[in-house]
């Protein structure tokens, strides 16, 4: 079943057309990754799906409903969780409060508490620093917090924008292990990631975006073997 | 504005002023023209403070009073000539500008606005209540106006005189703001830590902006007192402070022409509303709200969008060939230890991000600093660059103890840096960002810059050419005129490196330069860092991309929980059991970097 269906999506920043008619699908329980160079429009696409960028044309359908132009907080209520690029944590709130805020739309106190413990287990560093203000965390720790916070909403579709950004190798592996585990639990994930090798290895399917257009698509394994992808993005 | 249009505009204005007598204006209209000029003078300086340096002041009526009362007292009580009184008024204005600049070093935003309100109210109270000296509401009568060849100024002369002052002020500020000083003010407003990192003293820049605004405001006050030949405490009100700020913000703060638009429109409006005094203050309040909400860049800002579109594609090529800081190999790369750190310690409450760290950086080599997230790497870098003051310990750079020095002084010694969370001057073009990086090398004095002397123009042109060459060298040549914030993330990272290189550093500190880059881009970054090394610059980088670290560095330092747990050659570090356990993980490295394949 298709969970997310995007048709001819366009986004403009002033005179610049950042997305020039993107079409893609994400099926229920799939992990789909977007790869592409800097400025190709990956984050813009994520922001448009998450209701944070204004759509200039085309449509976004989520679970069969048209959600084009819907606002960010309504996206969360529908079940779209967004871990944005650039560690947008609530700097003057504690780590624990950031996680509680991530579950703002939920009402199950017990579930929230157990989820917090769960993600403290995944990111022990956050457990150590749970009472510290998020703004005093190191860059990498803030990144972990941003991911955990998005998960706290128990989204049906998780948008992960560069989860490995600024993380130590050991933690990068943890993050990919988390993504793998989430996939096994049946979560649908749309992933933007510069570590294209690992992203393709974990993905069911992948799209390559160049200057606002999709130029290639296929299974993760196919793109990993594709010569164009290898020379342009994998540094091979 | 292009030079030709600017010259024509000035000529038209001068001609219009010269022809004023032909229009047969009565004193009422001459007074309005005079007032436009005075308001422009006060607002032009205030614009430097508000629009360029980003410091809001709600107390400039106090500085207006300083000028007016100096002119009155110097002339009447001390018997000085009107010309001398005018000069003295500017001098006193500068002194009081220094005084109110002091709090701006410690507080910012709303707190600073409160402090300036306080200053304005204190001055208002003093001139009202201390009647022995300031004569309160009774005021000073018979303040002499300047005269030329024995002829005292008539109202027409006053219009000409103020017009000349306005043109002179405009020309000086235009020259000043177009060069390194204007960039420094904007840099301080947009990203203080980044401004410090290129050697700009934030304290000095803010103080200078306060003094400039104080001088023009005091001059305006002095001129009003002399033209009016009478001055009392009724002139000095909080409303005057608000009015001046409205002139700047409504006209367009941060634009050279904003104060002109503001002064013309608001003076005319003010004269028209004079029939209904109750409406005046209401109107200023409404205009302030209107411009803050709907037109944050004022009238000038509304026009500048058009002007920018017109200017596009008209990029002026540099007049002289530039030298890229990257190509220029610095004289025989130094050898030995360029930086020696001993027992460096920093604590924030119970958290100790750096505990007694000692190491040395060898000149000419690339060093990598790795470690788990939260290990204290960025804090260590901040200590080296002076953005954070150490608790204890010593940092010696080329033999000189620099622990505890402010960031801009360390930058001037030749330590440049980039920031993990990008601190570019977002509204400025890529070129201006690089020019700010070269700030400490553009040797133009304040006076030369103010007067637009050939030496300062030459320095500016050379710096532009060098900056363009460096941008071209780093593959940013075709985006030199785009605002930094509109560049894609990876290019912003590269621009930060360009800005740091423009300061021609001996030691370059890079905080996660490859974050957000894909493997191909990371590979290109490695090449850039190699070229930086070949240019004779010593490098210390924080990085998590192990393929990059292992590929380009000759020495690796490993930090964990604030302590140095290992250091040595990359191949030894990658096998070090402590490093593997704390950071790399036990698998083979292909799996962990993934992208090395």
Cβ contacts of B517 on chain A, cutoff 8 Å: 38, 194
Res B595: pLDDT: 42
Contact B82, B144 (CB under 8 A): yes
**φ/ψ (deg, to 5) at A216:** -150, 145
B173, two tokens: 């500020």
Q: Is the pLDDT of residue A87 over 50?
A: yes
Q: What percent of chain B has pLDDT over 70?
A: 94
What is chain B's mean pLDDT, rounded? 88
Contact B237, B61 (CB under 8 A): yes
Res B537: pLDDT: 93
Minimum distance, in Å, between the CA of residue B306 and any CA atom of chain A: 13
> Which of A13, A162, A236 faces B597 most closely, judged by CB atoms?
A236
B556, two tokens: 């690796």
pLDDT tier, B313 (very low <50, low <70, confident <90, very high otherwise): very low
8 Å CB contact of B518 and A233:
yes
Best residue in A140, A193, A208, A220 for a mutation probing chain B (most B CBs within 10 Å):
A140
Contact B386, B406 (CB under 8 A): yes
Q: What share of chain B is helix, strand, coil (3-state, %, to 5)?
A: 60, 10, 25
Cβ contacts of B491 on chain A, cutoff 8 Å: 38-39
Give residue-wise pLDDT tens across range A130-159. 999 998 888 778 888 988 998 898 899 999
List the single residue in B with minimal CA-CA distance to A143: B373
Q: Looking at B228-350, which runs of residues are DSSP E strands?
A: 230-231, 337-348
Mean pLDDT of B566-590: 82
Res B1: pLDDT: 60
Looking up tokens 């413990």, which residue turns up?
A: A117
Give residue-wise pLDDT tens across range B315-325. 555 556 777 77
- Residue B550, classed as helix, strand or coil, is helix
Contact A168, A181 (CB under 8 A): no
Mean pLDDT of A60-66: 92
Looking up tokens 């560095």, which residue turns up?
A: B553
Minimum distance, in Å, between the CA of residue B371 and any CA atom of chain A: 7
Mean pLDDT of B175-204: 92
The CA-CA-CA angle for residues A112, A116, A118, to 5°, reads 115
Contact A21, A10 (CB under 8 A): yes
Tallying the residues shown for chain B, one arrives at 597
8 Å CB contact of A139 and B373:
yes
Largest CA distance in chain B: 93
Cβ contacts of A46 on chain B, cutoff 8 Å: none
The phi-psi region of residue B60 (left if phi > 0; otherwise alpha if psi is between -120 and 50; otherwise beta) is alpha
Give residue-wise pLDDT tens across range B281-291. 788 888 878 87
List the single residue in A with minimal CA-CA distance to B490: A38
pLDDT tier, B591 (very low <50, low <70, confident <90, very high otherwise): very low
What is chain A's mean pLDDT, rounded? 88
8 Å CB contact of A87 and B421:
yes
- Residue B333, classed as helix, strand or coil, is coil
8 Å CB contact of B373 and A171:
yes
List the single residue in B with minimal CA-CA distance to A40: B488
Res B454: pLDDT: 86
List the single residue in A with minimal CA-CA distance to B561: A125
Best residue in B526, B561, B594 for a mutation probing chain A (most A CBs within 10 Å):
B594
Q: Looking at A73-194, which runs of residues are DSSP E strands?
A: 80-83, 157-161, 188-192
Minimum distance, in Å, between the CA of residue A79 and any CA atom of chain B: 27
Cβ contacts of B372 on chain A, cutoff 8 Å: 125, 140, 168, 170-171
> Which of B372, B518, B523 faces A196 most closely, judged by CB atoms?
B518
> Which of A140, A197, A233 faces B373 most closely, judged by CB atoms?
A140
- Residue A212, classed as helix, strand or coil, is coil
Give residue-wise pLDDT tens across range B380-434. 999 999 999 999 999 999 999 999 999 999 999 999 999 988 899 988 999 999 9
Q: Is the pLDDT of residue B92 over 80?
A: yes
Q: Is the pLDDT of residue B211 over 60?
A: yes
B382, two tokens: 């901040």
- Residue B327, classed as helix, strand or coil, is coil
Distance CA(B593)–CA(A37), nearest Å, equals 19
Distance CA(B14)–CA(B11), nearest Å, equals 5
8 Å CB contact of B544 and A168:
yes
Burial class, B427, CB count within 10 angstroms (exposed 0-12 / middle 13-18 / buried 19+): middle
Res A34: pLDDT: 94
Res B594: pLDDT: 42
8 Å CB contact of A168 and B583:
yes
Report the Cα B224 to chain-centroid distance in Å: 31
> Which of A140, A169, A196 faces B519 most closely, judged by CB atoms?
A196
**φ/ψ (deg, to 5) at B140:** -100, 130
8 Å CB contact of A129 and B373:
no
A interface toward B at CB cutoff 8 Å? 13, 16, 35, 37-39, 43, 85-87, 125, 129, 132, 136-141, 143-144, 162, 165-173, 194-198, 201, 231-236
pTM: 0.84
Res B341: pLDDT: 95
Q: A11: part of which helix (H) or strand (E)? A: strand A2-13
Q: Looking at A153-211, which runs of residues are DSSP E strands?
A: 157-161, 188-192, 205-210
8 Å CB contact of B518 and A168:
no
> Which of B487, B518, B584 faces A169 most closely, judged by CB atoms?
B584
Burial class, A127, CB count within 10 angstroms (exposed 0-12 / middle 13-18 / buried 19+): middle
Cα separations in angstroms, B82 against A83, B68, B119, B236, B371: 67, 12, 27, 21, 69
Beta-carbon contacts of A184 under 8 Å, excluding residues fewer than 6 positions away, are none
Give residue-wise pLDDT tens across range A155-184. 999 999 888 888 888 888 888 888 898 888
B interface toward A at CB cutoff 8 Å? 348, 351, 370-378, 420-421, 486-491, 512, 515-523, 544, 546, 582-585, 587, 591-595, 597
- Residue B241, classed as helix, strand or coil, is helix
The CA-CA-CA angle for residues B151, B157, B163, to 5°, reads 140
Distance CA(B279)–CA(B264), nearest Å, equals 19
Contact B92, B115 (CB under 8 A): no
Distance CA(A54)–CA(A30), nearest Å, equals 26
Q: Is the pLDDT of residue B596 over 50?
A: no
8 Å CB contact of B584 and A170:
yes
Q: Is the pLDDT of residue B52 over 60?
A: yes
Question: SS in 3 state form for B254-278?
Answer: CCCCHHHHHHHHHHHHHHHHCCCHH
8 Å CB contact of B489 and A38:
yes
**φ/ψ (deg, to 5) at A205:** -140, 165
Res A166: pLDDT: 82
pLDDT tier, B119 (very low <50, low <70, confident <90, very high otherwise): very high
Looking up tokens 């989860």, which residue turns up?
A: A163
List the single residue in A with minimal CA-CA distance to B512: A166
**φ/ψ (deg, to 5) at B353:** -70, -25
Best residue in B485, B520, B558, B560 for a mutation probing chain A (most A CBs within 10 Å):
B520
Q: Is the pLDDT of residue B551 over 90?
A: yes
CA neighbor of B334 nearest in space, from B538, B568, B554, B552: B538
Q: Is the pLDDT of residue B555 over 60?
A: yes
Give, as one character, the DSSP assignment of residue A85.
T
A132, two tokens: 């510290």
Cβ contacts of B592 on chain A, cutoff 8 Å: 169-170, 172-173
Distance CA(B597)–CA(B277), nearest Å, equals 78
Residue A24 bridge partners (DSSP): A6
Q: Is the pLDDT of residue B311 over 70?
A: no
Q: Is the pLDDT of residue B55 over 80?
A: yes
The CA-CA-CA angle for residues B50, B46, B104, to 5°, reads 55
List the single residue in A with minimal CA-CA distance to B350: A132
Give, as one character, the DSSP assignment of residue B361.
E
Distance CA(A196)–CA(A228), nearest Å, equals 13
Distance CA(B533)–CA(B364), nearest Å, equals 6
Pairing outcome for strands B415-417 and A57-62: unpaired
Q: Is the pLDDT of residue B309 over 60?
A: no
8 Å CB contact of B488 and A86:
no
B192, two tokens: 């203080």
Cβ contacts of B512 on chain A, cutoff 8 Å: 139, 166
Burial class, B155, CB count within 10 angstroms (exposed 0-12 / middle 13-18 / buried 19+): middle
Give, as one character, the DSSP assignment of residue B81.
-
List the single residue in B with minimal CA-CA distance to A16: B486
Q: Is the pLDDT of residue B443 over 80?
A: no
Beta-carbon contacts of B426 under 8 Å, excluding residues fewer than 6 positions away, are B190, B191, B483, B484, B485
Mean pLDDT of B464-479: 91
Best residue in B372, B373, B510 for a mutation probing chain A (most A CBs within 10 Å):
B373
> Among A13-17, A185-189, B175-179, B567-571, whose mean pLDDT is lowest?
A13-17
> Buried b vs exposed e over B82-116: b needs ≥16 C-beta within 10 Å?
beebbbbbbebbbebbeebbebbeeeeeeebbebb
Q: Is the pLDDT of residue B326 over 80?
A: no
Give residue-wise pLDDT tens across range A1-21. 889 999 999 998 877 788 999
> Buried b vs exposed e over B263-279: b needs ≥16 C-beta within 10 Å?
bbbbbeebeebeeeeee
Minimum distance, in Å, between the CA of residue A141 and any CA atom of chain B: 6
Q: Is the pLDDT of residue B88 over 90?
A: yes
CB atoms near residue B128 (< 10 Å): 16
Cα separations in angstroms, B383 against B220, B344, B392, B504, B511: 45, 9, 11, 20, 13
CA neighbor of B210 nearest in space, from B432, B414, B52: B52
Mean pLDDT of A191-215: 91
8 Å CB contact of B378 and A194:
no
pLDDT tier, B356 (very low <50, low <70, confident <90, very high otherwise): very high
8 Å CB contact of B594 and A132:
no
- Which is more confidently placed, B330 or B452? B452
> Among A70-79, B214-223, B359-368, whose mean pLDDT is lowest?
A70-79
A–B interface: beta-carbon pairs under 8 A = 126
Q: Is the pLDDT of residue B264 over 90?
A: yes
ipTM: 0.79
Q: Is the pLDDT of residue A52 over 80?
A: yes
8 Å CB contact of A198 and B594:
yes
Res B308: pLDDT: 59
Contact B302, B262 (CB under 8 A): no
Report the Cα B326 to chain-centroid distance in Å: 26
8 Å CB contact of A138 and B375:
yes
8 Å CB contact of A132 and B351:
yes
Find the helix packing angle between B82-106 and B202-228, rounded to 10°: 150
Res B507: pLDDT: 96
Minimum distance, in Å, between the CA of residue A35 and any CA atom of chain B: 9
A175, two tokens: 């993050």
Res B593: pLDDT: 46
């Amino acid at each position: 079943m298709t969970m997310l269906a995007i048709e001819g999506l366009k986004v403009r920043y002033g005179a610049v057309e950042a997305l020039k008619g993107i079409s893609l699908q994400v099926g229920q329980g799939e992990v789909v990754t977007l790869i592409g160079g800097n400025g190709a429009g990956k984050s813009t696409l994520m922001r448009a799906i998450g209701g944070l960028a204004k759509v200039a044309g085309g449509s976004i359908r989520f679970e069969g409903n048209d959600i084009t132009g819907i606002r960010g907080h309504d996206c969360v209520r529908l079940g779209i969780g967004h871990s944005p690029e650039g560690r947008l944590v609530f700097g003057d709130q504690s780590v624990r409060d950031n996680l509680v805020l991530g579950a703002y739309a939920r009402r199950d106190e017990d579930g929230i508490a157990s989820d917090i413990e769960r993600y403290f287990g995944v990111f022990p560093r956050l457990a150590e620093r749970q009472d510290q203000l998020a703004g005093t965390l190191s860059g990498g720790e803030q990144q972990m917090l941003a991911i955990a916070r998005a998960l706290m909403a128990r989204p049906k579709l998780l948008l992960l924008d560069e989860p490995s950004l600024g993380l130590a190798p050991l933690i990068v592996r943890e993050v990919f292990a988390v993504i793998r585990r989430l996939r096994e639990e049946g979560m649908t994930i749309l992933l933007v990631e510069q570590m294209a090798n690992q992203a393709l290895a974990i993905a069911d399917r992948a799209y390559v975006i160049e200057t606002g257009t999709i130029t290639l698509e296929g299974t993760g394994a196919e793109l990993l073997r594709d010569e164009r992808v290898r020379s342009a993005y994998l540094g091979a | 504005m292009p030079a030709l249009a600017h010259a024509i505009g000035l000529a038209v204005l001068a001609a219009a002023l010269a022809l004023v007598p032909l229009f047969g204006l009565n004193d009422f209209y001459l007074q309005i023209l005079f007032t436009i000029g005075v308001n422009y003078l006060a607002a032009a300086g205030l614009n430097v403070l508000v629009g360029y340096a980003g410091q809001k002041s709600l107390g400039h009526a106090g500085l207006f009073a300083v000028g007016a009362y100096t002119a009155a007292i110097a002339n009447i009580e001390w018997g000085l000539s009107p010309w001398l009184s005018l000069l003295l008024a500017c001098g006193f204005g500068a002194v009081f500008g220094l005084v109110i600049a002091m709090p701006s070093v410690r507080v910012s935003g709303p707190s600073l606005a409160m402090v300036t309100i306080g200053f304005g109210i204190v001055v208002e109270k003093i001139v009202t209540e201390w009647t022995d000296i300031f004569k309160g509401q009774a005021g000073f009568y018979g303040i002499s106006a300047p005269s030329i060849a024995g002829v005292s100024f008539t109202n027409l002369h006053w219009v000409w005189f103020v017009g000349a002052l306005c043109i002179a002020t405009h020309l000086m500020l235009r020259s000043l703001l177009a060069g390194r000083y204007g960039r420094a003010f904007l840099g301080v407003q947009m990203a203080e830590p980044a401004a410090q990192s290129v050697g700009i003293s934030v304290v000095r820049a803010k103080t200078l902006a306060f003094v400039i605004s104080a001088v023009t405001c005091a001059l305006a006050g002095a001129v009003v007192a002399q033209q009016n030949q009478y001055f009392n405490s009724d002139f000095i009100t909080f409303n005057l402070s608000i009015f001046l700020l409205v002139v700047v913000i409504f006209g367009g703060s941060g634009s050279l022409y904003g104060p002109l638009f503001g002064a013309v429109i608001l003076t005319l409006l003010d004269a028209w509303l004079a029939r209904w005094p109750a409406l005046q203050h209401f109107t200023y309040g409404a205009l302030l709200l209107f411009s803050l909400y709907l037109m944050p860049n004022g009238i000038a800002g509304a026009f500048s969008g058009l002007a920018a579109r017109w200017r596009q594609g008209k990029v002026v090529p540099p007049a002289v060939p530039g030298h890229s800081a990257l190509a220029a190999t610095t004289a025989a790369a130094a050898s030995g230890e360029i930086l020696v750190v001993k027992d460096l310690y920093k604590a924030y409450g119970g958290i100790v991000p750096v505990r007694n760290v000692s190491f040395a950086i060898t000149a000419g080599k690339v060093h990598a600093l790795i470690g788990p997230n939260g290990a204290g790497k960025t804090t260590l870098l901040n200590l080296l660059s002076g953005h954070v003051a150490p608790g204890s310990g010593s940092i010696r750079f080329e033999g000189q103890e620099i622990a505890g020095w402010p960031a801009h002084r360390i930058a001037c010694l030749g330590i440049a840096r980039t920031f993990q969370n990008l601190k570019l001057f977002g509204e400025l073009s890529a070129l201006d960002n690089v020019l700010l990086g070269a700030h400490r090398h553009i040797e133009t004095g304040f006076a030369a810059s103010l007067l637009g002397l050939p030496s300062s123009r030459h320095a500016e042109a050379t710096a532009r050419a060098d900056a363009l060459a460096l941008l071209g060298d780093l593959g940013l040549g075709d985006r030199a005129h785009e605002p930094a914030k509109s560049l894609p993330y990876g290019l912003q990272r590269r621009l930060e490196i360009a800005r740091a290189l423009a300061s021609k550093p001996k030691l370059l500190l890079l905080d996660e330069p490859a974050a957000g880059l894909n493997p191909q881009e990371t590979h290109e970054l490695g090449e850039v860092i190699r070229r930086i090394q070949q240019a004779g610059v010593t490098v210390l980088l924080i990085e998590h991309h192990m393929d990059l670290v292992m590929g380009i560095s000759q020495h690796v330092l490993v930090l964990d929980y604030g302590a140095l747990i290992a250091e040595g050659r990359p191949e030894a570090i990658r096998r070090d059991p402590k490093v593997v356990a704390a950071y790399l993980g036990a698998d083979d490295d292909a799996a962990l970097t993934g992208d090395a394949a």
